[in-house]
Chain A
């Protein structure tokens, strides 16, 4: 598999309270990769490291096959980037911003950009200061798409936007991706939004990559089980235990992945009683994953197999 983005043991420590540790990301070429994580997890920092805006303390970054930061300019000419906060020169108008931006990208497609402006209903003479948050988001997407990038890096692009604008932006994005087979690396904490568009997912928390896998795998077979007289987890268990904790009224609640019908037998064979099986959606799975990871200081509380299953490539 070729990767549009690949990091190996990437490290960054901006201060004492936060560090990015041994981050190894693998974003397959042509994928729409959702980079999930709560606020403050390090998503923006990771993106800035990928784009060569920050200097890593260790490890390596390759974007579109180019080493970062050594070949950052070459890489940036093939990347469309929408940062977390608007970063454009606000004293310019929409047309001036487009003229400024296009000057730096030899692949700029003015016709396509004009079409996008029209589609978003953005007037060229409008000053950036007078644009609403949604309009600014549309302009940034226009600038990112107008250069016909091979890779789109979007840092919370729809954060704070109303659902209509959000849908418009995602729709334009999907159109572009289906048309050009571009790779999209999109960070967000809005799980449902990513659930609809992403085919890969990576979860970051407190500077650590908790998991990275195809979205389908991530979503499938995540269950919460109510177990009475819980057994020890055996190495040959057919599912992965993400977490287990005592349950009010006796027994335990287990969070598992890879559950399939018929696996109830495992409990019966071990002298336990499986009282309830609850389906979890992506958001619940995400929360469960974070909760499990956070409640596991070191390797102590986390079952050995659960630890193994935290990161899947």
Chain B
């Protein structure tokens, strides 16, 4: 059963995984390319920091797209096939989820290998340390979290997804209207803070994404 589900998910997402794996491998390698041109380690750290945004962005996009591909075919068939299979719904959801988790391993490993290779081939300037392992773990957690969040939304009914997206869009629209009317009420800030400041669910995205750091 698991093999069957895993195979379909692999088939649907292999192109995405290929691109993500390539990107995961490339970001650390590219980030160290300009190190030789940097003057002083301060610039090295700044250069590395500049590439840092690539990791959470990749993790978020990967999580979103992988969850969409996991459910895309079922959504198109209005879940009739999935629901007519003789397994409980939670079992089916779990199999799809675990398949996605396993598929995520490829880009996660790519980030780790890319980081390890990148730091292996350069002479790390004195005063700096390589954090390829830590970076890969952070990337893994972010990718898994993004995948789980979007997976949970996708696994729901269109109504659930509509409610979640509707609330988000409604808040943004309300904030725009309030700002346009000159009414100084912050609707989004507390929500964004709640999501991205510890112990919010997405705090892990806001850490320092450094391959090399002090």
Interfacial residues, chain A to chain B (CB-CB below 8 A): 51-53, 73-77, 81, 83, 87-92, 96, 99-100, 103-105
Contacts and interface: CB of A to CB of B under 8 A. Distances in A.
A103 B73 CA distance: 18
B84 interface: yes
B81 interface: yes
Interface in B99-121: none
Contacts of B86: 73-77, 104-105
A103 B1 contact: yes
11 contacts: A53-B80, A74-B86, A75-B86, A77-B86, A87-B84, A88-B81, A89-B81, A103-B3, A104-B1, A104-B86, A104-B87
Nearest to B3: A103
A73 B77 contact: no
A75 B87 CA distance: 10
Q: Which 3 A-B pairs have the closest CB atoms?
A: A77-B86, A103-B4, A76-B86
A103 B8 CA distance: 12
Which of A52, A53, A77 has most B Cβ within 10 Å? Answer: A53
Contacts of A73: 86-88
- Report the contact-size class of chain B (Cβ under 8 Å from the partner): 10 to 19
A93 to B, nearest CB: 10
A83 B3 CA distance: 25
B85 interface: yes
Contacts of B1: 103-104
Nearest to A93: B11
Given A89-B73, A91-B73, A76 B7 contact: no
A87 B84 CA distance: 10
A104 B77 contact: no
B12 interface: yes
A234 to B, nearest CB: 51
Nearest to A51: B84
Nearest to A147: B86
B152 interface: no
A76 B84 CA distance: 7
Interface string B3-19: 11001100110000000
Contacts of B7: 96, 99-100
Nearest to A99: B4
Given A100-B8, A103-B3, A104-B4, A90 B84 contact: no
Nearest to A155: B80
Contact of B80 (A76, A83, A96): A83
Interface in B17-37: none
Given A53-B84, A76-B84, 6 more contacts: A73-B88, A74-B86, A87-B78, A90-B73, A91-B11, A99-B4
A263 B65 CA distance: 73
B85 A76 contact: yes
B75 to A, nearest CB: 11
Nearest to B82: A87
Nearest to B91: A73
Contacts of B77: 87-89
Given A88-B77, A103-B3, A81 B84 contact: yes
**Residue with the greatest number of chain B CB neighbours at <10 A, chosen from A75, A83, A96, A100:** A100
Nearest to A81: B84
Nearest to B80: A87
Interface string B133-163: 0000000000000000000000000000000
B83 interface: yes
